[in-house]
């Protein structure tokens, strides 16, 4: 039994925008919830909008479309007033083929239940899909809230406070991890134990088009909805258009099917441009932390290699997602530190950067490598 308790009463309080959230019949347990945005406009059957919607949705769930490779799909289709935008996201541990199957089911179901609405959103256990006639890419939206209960069993009243305390700690930690996870996937899972030894499993996920800060705000907002929607529940999922938080007493995800994120920075982009002053500010912002980190490595070598000196030199490479800096390190005299340290650093930009809040993501992938030369 998987009752769904998304009632329109709750939603009216939270968002006058959404006019319907309906529960699904138990014969279709996977389709958890949906919203048809009636006041955002209707299209008529046979209109260009409908044709465009069909095209967009069938390309989205076509077997050849692998999204960004990490369960995220973003596409647009059509012209002028008939232009459509869609975003789809699978839970971070869902395999690519399951993800496609889920999206395929969701595209069919959502157009059935919202037959004339220009904007709609639908949720399965493994995926979500939304479309609109406005751009929704990078739009962080914390309403309407879709509270999706998975476990209606109540915690005994003596356990609630301790359980919720540990659960909140877990989700807060996962929020930080998911938000910091970069632009391909923003997903984190983990477990903890309640004071009564009850295991708690948690999940946090944002659509990865959100910037780190926006994701974190979204997850905070979703967590803020937990007291209202998940009172005493052993398991609960709070979903909004941009992110999900969920906790359960049973493990509801499979950590072994989470595709690892690439560990190296993305390949260099050929795009150039941007104003000169902006670019030089960018250079300073990128280079300073890199140089500082390289100097720290040099000092480390200075301390560690005082005893055992080799004849070789080292090439040090230090990188952020946006830039790489290379330096030659003289291992014979690592302590002869002058400024600028050693040879003039060579900086390689991997990506054109704008100093938007969104691009702070570029600072997340940081690393070092070194090779003997
Ligand atoms: C979306 O459709 C509604 C209703 O037809 C219209 O008022 C609105 O301007 C459209 N939005 C965009 C971005 O075209
Ligand atoms: C769209 O259609 C619904 C009924 O299906 C109606 O209630 C709503 O007012 C319509 N929206 C607009 C913007 O005309
Ligand atoms: C996603 O869609 C938006 C709107 O069409 C577009 O501007 C953006 O470049 C797309 N991003 C990716 C990564 O495909
Ligand atoms: C999609 O629907 C088919 C048929 O109803 C069902 O067998 C399959 O499990 C569904 N897939 C997902 C991922 O929900
Ligand atoms: C859980 O508690 C609520 C009231 O807090 C009650 O209405 C509901 O029936 C309880 N559920 C179960 C399964 O005991
Ligand atoms: C990315 O997510 C994984 C698990 O989902 C987590 O272990 C890791 O710390 C996260 N990375 C960052 C940079 O937070
Ligand atoms: C709980 O999380 C830890 C990592 O934090 C992991 O090693 C362990 O396997 C998890 N336990 C279960 C039952 O999933």
DSSP code string of 350-361: SS-----GGGGG
Point out the ligand 5 atom lying closest to the alpha carbon of residue 231: 5
Q: How far away, in angstroms, is 38 Cα from ligand 2 center?
A: 5
Any idea which residue has 């992938």 for tokens? 365
**Integer Cα distance of 85 and 119 in angstroms:** 9
Residue 233 CA: which ligand is closest?
5
**Integer Cα distance of 6 and 125 in angstroms:** 14
Is residue 289 within a helix (H) or strand (E), and if so which, with residue range?
helix 276-304
Residue 123 CA: which ligand is closest?
4
Q: Is 124 in the pocket of ligand 6 (CB under 6 A)?
A: no
Give the burial class of 205: count Cβ atoms within 10 A of its Cβ; 0-12 exposed, 13-18 middle, 19 or more buried: buried
**Integer Cα distance of 361 and 355 in angstroms:** 10
pLDDT value of position 49: 95
Q: Is 154 in the pocket of ligand 5 (CB under 6 A)?
A: yes
Point out the ligand 1 atom lying closest to the alpha carbon of residue 134: 13
Return the best residue to mutate from 154, 155, 235 for the ligand 5 pocket (most ligand atoms within 8 A of CB). 154
**Integer Cα distance of 118 and 175 in angstroms:** 32
Closest Cα to atom 3 of ligand 3: 137
Q: How far away, in angstroms, is 303 Cα from ligand 1 center?
A: 64
Residue pLDDT, tens place only, 248-295: 999 999 999 999 998 755 544 444 434 444 444 544 555 556 555 655
| Phi, psi dihedrals of residue 330, rounded to the nearest 5° | -85, 105
Q: Is 318 in the pocket of ligand 6 (CB under 6 A)?
A: no
Q: How far away, in angstroms, is 370 Cα from ligand 2 center?
A: 63
Point out the ligand 7 atom lying closest to the alpha carbon of residue 199: 13
Which residues share a beta bridge with 370?
316
Domains 8-132 and 146-257 share a fold: yes
Return the best residue to mutate from 170, 189, 191, 256 for the ligand 7 pocket (most ligand atoms within 8 A of CB). 191
Helix (H, G, I), strand (E, B) or coil at 121: strand
Q: Is 293 in the pocket of ligand 3 (CB under 6 A)?
A: no
Q: Is 188 in the pocket of ligand 6 (CB under 6 A)?
A: yes
**Integer Cα distance of 90 and 28 in angstroms:** 19
Residue 118 CA: which ligand is closest?
1
pLDDT value of position 114: 93
Q: Which residues line ligand 2 (CB under 6 A)?
A: 38-39, 41-42
pLDDT value of position 236: 94
DSSP string, 49-83: HHHHHHHHHHHHTSTT--TTSSSEEEEEE--GGG-
Low-confidence ranges of the chain (pLDDT < 70): 1-30, 264-373
CB atoms under 10 Å from CB of 137, counted, come to 13
Point out the ligand 4 atom lying closest to the alpha carbon of residue 105: 1
Beta strand ranges found along the chain (DSSP E): 31-36, 72-77, 84-90, 120-124, 127-132, 146-154, 186-193, 199-206, 233-239, 243-248, 313-319, 323-330, 346-349, 367-372
Describe the crossing of helices 157-179 and 212-224 by its angle, rounded to 10 degrees.
170
Q: How far away, in angstroms, is 43 Cα from ligand 6 center?
A: 42
Q: Where are the domains of the chain?
A: 8-132, 146-257, 276-372
CATH topology for the 8-132 domain: Killer Toxin P4; Chain A (3.30.430)
CATH architecture for segment(s) 146-257: 2-Layer Sandwich (3.30)
Q: Give the pairing of strands 243-248 and 146-154.
A: unpaired
Q: Is 143 in the pocket of ligand 7 (CB under 6 A)?
A: no
Closest Cα to atom 7 of ligand 3: 137
pLDDT value of position 149: 75
- Asked if residues 171 and 223 have their Cβ atoms less than 8 Å apart, the reply is yes
Closest Cα to atom 1 of ligand 1: 133
Q: How far away, in angstroms, is 115 Cα from ligand 2 center?
A: 12
- Asked if residues 139 and 220 have their Cβ atoms less than 8 Å apart, the reply is no
Q: How far away, in angstroms, is 185 Cα from ligand 6 center?
A: 10
| Phi, psi dihedrals of residue 14, rounded to the nearest 5° | -80, -35
Burial 3-38 (b: 16+ CB within 10 A, else e): ebebeeebbeebbeebbebebbeeeeeebbbbbbbb
Closest Cα to atom 10 of ligand 5: 154
């Amino acid at each position: 039994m998987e009752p769904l308790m998304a009632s329109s009463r709750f939603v009216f309080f939270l968002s006058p925008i959404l006019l319907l959230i309906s529960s699904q019949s138990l014969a279709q347990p996977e389709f958890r919830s949906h919203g048809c945005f009636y006041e955002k406009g209707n299209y008529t059957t046979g209109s260009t909008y409908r044709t465009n919607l069909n095209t967009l949705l069938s390309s989205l769930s076509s077997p050849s479309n692998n999204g960004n490779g990490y369960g995220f799909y973003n596409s647009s289709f059509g012209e002028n007033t008939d232009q459509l935008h869609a975003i789809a996201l699978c839970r971070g541990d869902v395999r690519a083929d399951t993800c496609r199957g889920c999206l395929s089911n969701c595209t069919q179901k959502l157009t059935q239940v919202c037959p004339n609405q220009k904007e709609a959103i639908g949720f399965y256990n493994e995926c979500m899909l939304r479309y609109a006639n406005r751009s929704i890419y990078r739009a962080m939206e914390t309403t309407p809230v879709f509270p999706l209960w998975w476990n209606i069993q109540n915690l005994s009243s003596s356990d609630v406070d301790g359980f919720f305390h540990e659960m909140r700690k877990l989700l807060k930690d996962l929020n930080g991890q998911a938000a910091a996870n970069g632009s391909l996937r923003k997903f984190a899972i983990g477990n903890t134990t309640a004071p009564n030894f009850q295991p708690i499993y948690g999940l946090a996920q944002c659509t990865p088009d959100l910037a780190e800060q926006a994701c974190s705000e979204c997850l905070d907002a979703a967590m803020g909805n937990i007291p209202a929607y998940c009172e005493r529940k052993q398991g609960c999922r709070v979903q909004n258009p941009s992110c999900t938080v969920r906790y359960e007493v049973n493990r509801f995800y499979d950590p072994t099917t989470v595709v690892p994120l690439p560990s190296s920075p993305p390949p260099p982009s050929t795009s150039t441009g941007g104003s000169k002053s902006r670019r030089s500010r960018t250079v300073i912002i990128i280079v300073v932390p890199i140089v500082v980190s390289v100097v720290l490595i040099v000092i480390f070598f200075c301390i560690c290699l005082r005893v055992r000196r080799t004849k070789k030199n080292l090439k040090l490479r230090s990188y952020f997602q946006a830039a790489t800096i290379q330096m030659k390190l003289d291992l014979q005299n690592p302590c002869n530190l002058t400024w600028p340290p050693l040879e003039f650093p060579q900086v390689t930009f991997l990506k054109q950067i704008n100093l938007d809040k969104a691009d702070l993501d570029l600072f997340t992938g940081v690393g070092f490598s070194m090779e003997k030369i």
